[in-house]
Chain A
Amino acid sequence: MESPKTIIKVDNLQTSFYTDKGEVKAVDGVSFEIPSGKTLGIVGESGSGKSITSLSVMRLIQDPGKIKGGQILFNGENLLDKSEAQMRRIRGNQISMIFQEPMTSLNPVFTVGDQIAEAYMIHEGKSKKEALRKALDMLKLVGIPSPEQRLKQYPHELSGGMRQRVMIAIALACNPELLIADEPTTALDVTIQAQILRLINNLQEELGMSVMLITHDLGVVAETCDYVAVMYAGKVVEYADVETLFESPKHPYTVGLLKSLPRHDIDQEGELEVIKGMVPTPDNLPKGCRFAPRCPFASDICADRLPELDELEDNSQVRCWIYTDEWDGKSGVSVKDDYGTFASKES
């Protein structure tokens, strides 16, 4: 599916942390792109590398971490070639980011108004007065009641949902082309989460920006994203548009995740399907496919060699030997339909 314009294209991104124990490959050859105006969801569990991917795009990786390879093409320009001064002009202006915990990302000693106004003063060279007026407009845009009063308040005087709205106001102040949202609603209650997700969606349409949403919640992905990348142990294991991913998930990890999710909207009798074992630690990755030790379908080749991310007929991409000619396991398996049978046979 070739869309008219790609806002960002990440190609073979590699980010490692150099610790006493040696190199830890947190992000290991991640590639994806986001068409302009669309939302890409990056899902994965703790340690999958999803947050490090987003921080890498912002060039916010700190010692002992290092981006050691790949390309991040933003509007065709490689962000990895930019100087720190150039990056500072891009951050908060063309690419903005919001984090999970709004309390720790807001400055507790400045008022809400000052913090939003700062963006206008730095990036657009506005006067304080003018910047504060624009800050007020932003608070109105993100739906904060009595914005004139809120402008003069400090972060601790606001509720969690309000703080996240303020974070969004700061992030969107300079009309960025790309918003990176790292678990933006994870710390919020569901009714507030629904408000914030709708707000992001509405603002996206209004302002025409693209969104990269990092989350562990498949429900949030289904409701807000156009495309999805599933990450596992530093690699993308599946990439598809949202309908395809949920309707016909390909990778055994994606299928396992979907099946192990307790649902509030349908009856699931008996036990939940589980993915056995644990996520491998990045300093002790399996030699072949990283999911092989936990995969109910795993065969000889899986333990031996790492599969590539290959494109299938329905335009989705999957990193799994089952979909290749080299597959040496049982033929004719359907990962989606046979997952339960294979998983139970094993235990």
Chain B
Amino acid sequence: MTTELLQVKNLKQYFPIKGGLLGRKINDVKAVDDISFSIKAGETLSIVGESGCGKSTTGRAILRLDEPTAGEIHFQGDDLLSLNKKEMRKKRKDLQIIFQDPYASINPRQTVRQVLNEAMEIQNVLPKEQRYDRMIELLETVGLGPDKLDRFPHEFSGGQRQRIGIARALAVDPKLIICDESVSALDVSIQAQVLNLLKKLQREFDLTYLFISHDLGVVRHISDRVVVMYLGKIVEIGDKKSLFDNPKHPYTKTLLSAIPVPDPKRKKDQIILKGDVPSPIDPPTGCRFHTRCPFATERCVTEVPELRNTTGMKNGHESACHYIEEIESGEMKPKY
């Protein structure tokens, strides 16, 4: 079964910058600039990248928490962008999101019972009299005892709160869950518990995940396929193994080499980039990575590279670089 659950086509999300005396639009922040990808039913697709690359914006755009500027988002055959507000709200039953900060995403004045009940009520998933049993079942599923039902969020630790966030998402029986940095705020030992829980739930309930994270260790663990973004563009996409073991884009390579490895004996050749990520208001022309790329040429400044697959790359693995072959063969050397 390789049916595509979600298809994103040419998605653009620009945020206007207003200024001047009349508050007119003077420019755009091009947070997501023409990206396309799809997610198969039952898989975990991750989007990785640094701050400002557009990964969270992509997740929010799919749920229409922000209205995308252009593009198409097909979910089980429907174009989400053509739905009206009411229809979209109904669709959100199938599309849930778990945020990074469980402190901020759960109403502090509601008990767990109210949080879960509200979710079920809005989507009308169960008749009232069956909801209590379902809530207890949900708590058990995410590893919390039934005694927690009438507690308030402040009575829980960060890891437990994230479990409540997960229970709330599960309450409406979704098909796709967007996890936006869902384990990033947790301590390592708790993070591992929540990651294992997410994997278990995926098996049990046939869930599909769009996993947004800056942590490549977490991504390698949880994903089937990975998308790497830089300044609003996809620079590389592929199955987990290809992407981590055989990265092709200079940015992906840098990103992987920059992460500290918990093994002091592995002295690796770290590629250290110069400078910061440029502003998405006026992104660099051509390849957006050219200002920091050690291989960049004149062509990279003028010509936008397309995602492509070439010899030595597995099916479905694509990189947006003009010089995949030349870098691979060693014909082009990095200029540090």
Contacts and interface: CB of A to CB of B under 8 A. Distances in A.
Interface string A249-275: 000000011101111110110011111
A195 B189 contact: no
A279 B227 CA distance: 34
Nearest to A294: B189
B217 A263 contact: yes
A224 B264 CA distance: 9
A222 interface: yes
B119 interface: no
B60 interface: no
B265 interface: yes
B159 interface: yes
Nearest to B187: A45
Interface string B247-266: 00000001111111111111
B70 interface: no
A262 B187 contact: no
A119 B187 CA distance: 36
A253 B148 CA distance: 28
A247 interface: yes
B1 interface: no
Contacts of B270: 194, 198
A322 B178 CA distance: 44
Interface centre among B192, B214, B215, B275 (most CB of A within 10 A): B192
A281 to B, nearest CB: 9
Contact of B188 (A160, A260, A271, A276): A260
A262 B192 contact: yes
Interface in A191-223: 191-195, 197-198, 216-223
A210 B189 CA distance: 30
B50 interface: yes
B185 to A, nearest CB: 10
Contacts of B50: 189-192
A216 B275 CA distance: 26
A332 B196 CA distance: 30
Task: Say what secondary structure dominates the interface of chain B.
Answer: helix
Interface in B190-217: 190-193, 195-196, 199, 214-217
Contacts of A268: 220-221
B323 to A, nearest CB: 20
A192 B193 CA distance: 29
Contacts of B82: none
Contacts of A279: 187
B259 A257 contact: no
A46 interface: yes
Contacts of A246: 262-265
B276 interface: yes
B265 A247 contact: yes
A162 interface: yes
Contacts of A194: 257-258, 260, 270, 272-273
A223 B159 CA distance: 28
Nearest to B270: A194
Contact of B261 (A159, A223, A242, A247): A223
Nearest to B185: A46
B255 to A, nearest CB: 6
B51 interface: yes
A272 B195 contact: yes
Interface residues of B, number: 44
A92 interface: no
Contact of A278 (B157, B244, B262, B275): B157
Given A223-B260, A265-B261, A274 B187 contact: no
A76 interface: no
A159 B276 contact: yes
A219 B217 CA distance: 11
B217 A264 contact: yes
A335 B215 CA distance: 28
A262 B195 contact: yes
A246 to B, nearest CB: 5
Contacts of B189: 45, 256-257, 260, 274-275
A261 B260 contact: no
Interface string B271-287: 01101110000000000
A300 interface: no
Nearest to B256: A264
B101 to A, nearest CB: 14
Given A190-B50, A191-B50, A278-B159, A263 B188 contact: no
A323 to B, nearest CB: 22
Given A195-B273, A261-B217, A262-B221, A190 B262 contact: no
Interface in B212-236: 214-222
Interface of A: 45-46, 145, 159-162, 189-195, 197-198, 216-224, 242-243, 246-247, 256-258, 260-265, 267-268, 271-276, 278-279
12 contacts: A191-B255, A194-B258, A194-B272, A195-B273, A218-B262, A222-B260, A222-B264, A246-B263, A260-B192, A261-B188, A263-B262, A264-B216
Given A191-B258, A193-B258, 6 more contacts: A189-B277, A243-B264, A262-B215, A262-B222, A271-B199, A272-B196
4 closest pairs, A vs B, by CB? Answer: A219-B260, A260-B192, A189-B50, A275-B189
Interface of B: 50-51, 157-159, 187-193, 195-196, 199, 214-222, 244, 254-266, 270, 272-273, 275-277
